[in-house]
Structure 1
């Protein structure tokens, strides 16, 4: 007898939604004239949301290899949009920060994100949006706390 599949409809729906949202985000970025590749624009958007992260933490957030991230950061730094600074707590580590020159590019990325958000949340009331944001925050927190426990496995 074949085992019953676990009830994972919520899990799979979240995975599928995240994949679709990332794809749509990348498409939205490709329609915005930033002078950057989609990957560079995505990196800049993540730096914008998480200023002052170490390069290794940024690679984790982007789900890319550190060496892949270095290429994006080199291009962003060459364009004058970011700077890498020594971490005061560990001079070997680099923190990634935005420069003022990034502001016009971030405005364009922000517009693309706002349009995508409106599209994704069409038909969802303000109350439902707040509830969704709270639930997603809880899920993210659970996953992050689980990550810490899984590091030694």
Structure 2
């Protein structure tokens, strides 16, 4: 992970990058412009995801974006499978979108890559925090 952050800092020196814990980001409320959870959620139990996403929602600024990358699943159910380190989960993109919405996010983009002989199916969702409309 530090190598990725070093690369990002080198490419975009005016932007602050940091690594945080999924379960407790050490930042003020609504202070982050973006969160990248690239395969960071695949080992989380499905029941944990709501709390983790609520923490992301707390940390994101009103204009902030969340991008999650994960193994895409077939059908409607989240499926566990054996992974190199520990159990991982395949999330159908529609189900991940539903969990994001429940946590207060609005999906704004989706990319899916089907499986092939040597790679698993992949999905990435971009979302923004859902904010109440202001009276004008």
Range class of TM-score, shorter chain: under 0.3
TM-score when normalising by structure 1? 0.24
Which has the larger share of strand?
Answer: 2
Which has the larger share of helix?
Answer: 1
TM-score when normalising by structure 2? 0.26
Rg larger for: 1
